Every structure is written in structure tokens, then in C-alpha cells.
Structure 1
């Protein structure tokens, strides 16, 4: 465990990011403050996803220091990783919902795995989460019965279960049409306005133009802080 500067939720110092044996980003230095909204942009293969995976300890950090939500990622033991992830919300492009379980059971599975025990509190939290993402009453539906945009909303609800300090979103609009992409960004804005920091990898420049925020650009093995797109 390590403590961040008071206003920072993420600190990256002189970090190298690898994908398997390949160095994809080097010498990274940046901070993200509590409640901030930040995009990561860059072409496919420039390291966006690898950076996010390093932040939530899915890829090892071989050089440098990374602090996320009070945890020093490079010092984490394997058994400590779940405690870091309880402080985060992770939103994937490909949803990763369990196809053989309805939406309530998908959310319950994650809640039980992260320490929720009281069935009544679980049911109430699911109701509140689905209301928050504008999907009330879909508890008994299965993922295949939902549109792509609805599935992504469920994924966002899943990411919000434990009231995370920061959401890490990897191309969350990559499989959605422009109208639905805009709806997802409006939802992210609401979440961000409630105080949750968001770090979102994207190559959707229309989203950046409609919802401007600070931008970190991955290119040529480094990250450039563009402040605000473009």
C-alpha cells in the first residue's frame, strides 16, 4: 500500500509498458486527479490497452512506478490484486458478460466475488445500478436479448458496483453505432459529474469533438499530454 498525492487518483512515474516481450510505451510520466475525465488516444497497437491493463495489474510493470487508488501497482502481490480492482471499475469493449446468466445473476456473480453477502442488499444495489444506467426492469433478461448499447450499459453498471474511485474504459464505444456511442458518453459524463474519475481509451474522434476533455496521445512509443483535443 502506498499513498498518492492528495488530489491524484493515478500517478505514473518513469514507467515502461510492455505487451508480452515488446516494449510499447517508455518513460511515461503523468498524473490523473480525482474526478478528472481523460482520454487516451492513438492508433491500434500504440499501447492504449496495454497501459490500462498495467494500471489494473493485468500486465506486469517491469520499470518505473505506478500508483492507482492508493496502491503501488509495481509492489502488489498477486493476492493483493483483487483489493486494487475493488477500487476500480473496468469497462471492456467486448462486454464480457456471462451468456448463460441473466443480468441480475451477472451482477450478483461479481458482487459475491467482491465480498457482498446480504441478498437483500445485493438485490437493492442491482435495482439502483440498473436505474443509474437507464435500464430499469431488465434483471431477468439475458445478454443476447439486449442490444449492444444495452449490454455496454450493463457492463458500466457492473463497473460501478463497488462505487469505484476511477473507471478505466477500453474502447467502450468501439462496437457501437454513433448514436449509441453518444449516449454512452453522456452516461460517462453523468458518472464523472458525480465525482468518479474516468480514463477512457478510444480512437473515436467524433466522441472527442462532441465531449472534449484532456487527452493523452500514444504515438511513437511515448505519451504526449495534449491537454484538450484537438
Structure 2
């Protein structure tokens, strides 16, 4: 079971979400506690990605209150954004790996960029996250030598490097075959059971039926609590 608590890892209160000057989501209020797993569903273009980008401070600052991992996103200063992103893990559909370096070097690059200096600690953490996603034997491969599912596992390993309190996953199985997609979903649940909260945007309604969890629906510029799909 997940390690649940009443301490929110993220909370929005009457938040307006913008893409440049356009209002994308209006008066959004919800919270996620430590250890929760939540699906985010809705049609393409409804604002799911804009919501996630707002949570990791990649879009214009929202109006209202948006707190993520202890940071007030609506007032965050640019120099503080890297510190926010060290507390959260971000997982993209299109991987965004550096194609000119190995799996290990992709992860080491991120660790050094986020303040890791001790080479022994870097090596240990690298081994830890690759073992967690089942890719220890692939650390010296280049991204193009990996399957789509393996590349997504590298992205998940990268997101876990700084022991985030919450993972924000934007359609992480969208480009994968159904069988591989299910393996990746199960990996997210495994990570979640160890105490990391997961907010996962998905189009895959089979997931909701087969693996029910709390669900938020984005529609008509609103984020609506959709209960637990069972």
C-alpha cells in the first residue's frame, strides 16, 4: 500500500492557469497528499499539459494559490525554480534524452546540474535508480540502442535521481505499445507504493478500468474531481 498522509505535496486553491495571456483553466482547486496516485484525464488540448507545466513553473505564473513541494508557484522567483524542480520528478512523453551520450552520462549530467559533486555518491545513486527501473545492464548504451519502453525507463530513473516527493508524468505511455505501456504503469505504481506521489496525465481509459485510482478530469476549462474508477 502507498504511504499516505494528510500533508499535501501539491495544492491549488482558486487557481487560474494561463498559456501566455490566454486563460486555459479557470478557478482550479484540488490537492494531492504524500503517497497518493492520481490520474489526470481529458481530451487533447483541454489543458492537462498546461496544468502540469504550471506545477513545475514552466508557464506564466498562475493567479490564486499554487503550492508544490513547499514552494509557492504563483510568486516563485526565477532563481528558485531549479530548487522546486529538484523536489519533483518530471516525465515527458517524448523522453527528451541527450542522444549524444550514454544512459549513465544522461543521468550523471542531471545530477551534476542539480548540485551533486561527490563521485562515489553519484555512482551509487546512478546504480540505485537504474536498478529500480530494471536497466542496470543498459547503463553504457546510447538512447538509440534502447526500445521505447527502455527509453521511458531511463526518463523515470532520471526523474527519481533527487528523491522527489511527487512525479508529474505527461502522457508517459502515449508512444508505447499496450503491453509495454502497462509495464511502465506498473513501474509507476511500484514507485508510488514506496511513498512517492504520482500525478499522471493519460488518454488510456483501460488503465482507469484495470487499475482504479483517484481521477481528475479536465474539461471546459475546469478540473473536476472524478472519484475513483472501479
SS at match of 1:29: strand
Runs of 4+ aligned structure 1 residues displaced above 6 Å come to none
Find the aligned partners of 1:100 and 1:69 in 2 and give their Cα distance: 32
Structure-2 residue corresponding to 1:197: 197
Normalized against structure 2, the TM-score is what? 0.96
Find the aligned partners of 2:164 and 2:20 in 1 and give their Cα distance: 28
Q: Any residues of structure 2 matched to 1:170-209 within 5 Å, and which? A: 170-209=170-209
CA distances 1:99-121 after superposition (whole Å, capped 9, x unpaired): 00000000000000001001121
Structure-2 residue corresponding to 1:68: 68
My pick for the range that moved more, 38-47 or 12-21, is 12-21
Find the aligned partners of 1:111 and 1:198 in 2 and give their Cα distance: 21
Normalized against structure 1, the TM-score is what? 0.96
Structure-2 residue corresponding to 1:226: 226
My pick for the range that moved more, 129-138 or 87-96, is 129-138
Offset at residue 6 of structure 1 (A): 5.5
Offset at residue 22 of structure 1 (A): 2.1
- Answer yes or no: is the 8 Å Cα contact 2:164–2:196 preserved in 1: yes
Find the aligned partners of 2:185 and 2:21 in 1 and give their Cα distance: 34
Find the aligned partners of 1:205 and 1:6 in 2 and give their Cα distance: 28
Structure-1 residue corresponding to 2:162: 162
Offset at residue 123 of structure 1 (A): 1.2
Q: Gaps (5+ residues) in structure 1?
A: none
- Answer yes or no: is the 8 Å Cα contact 2:54–2:62 preserved in 1: no
TM-align CA RMSD: 1.2
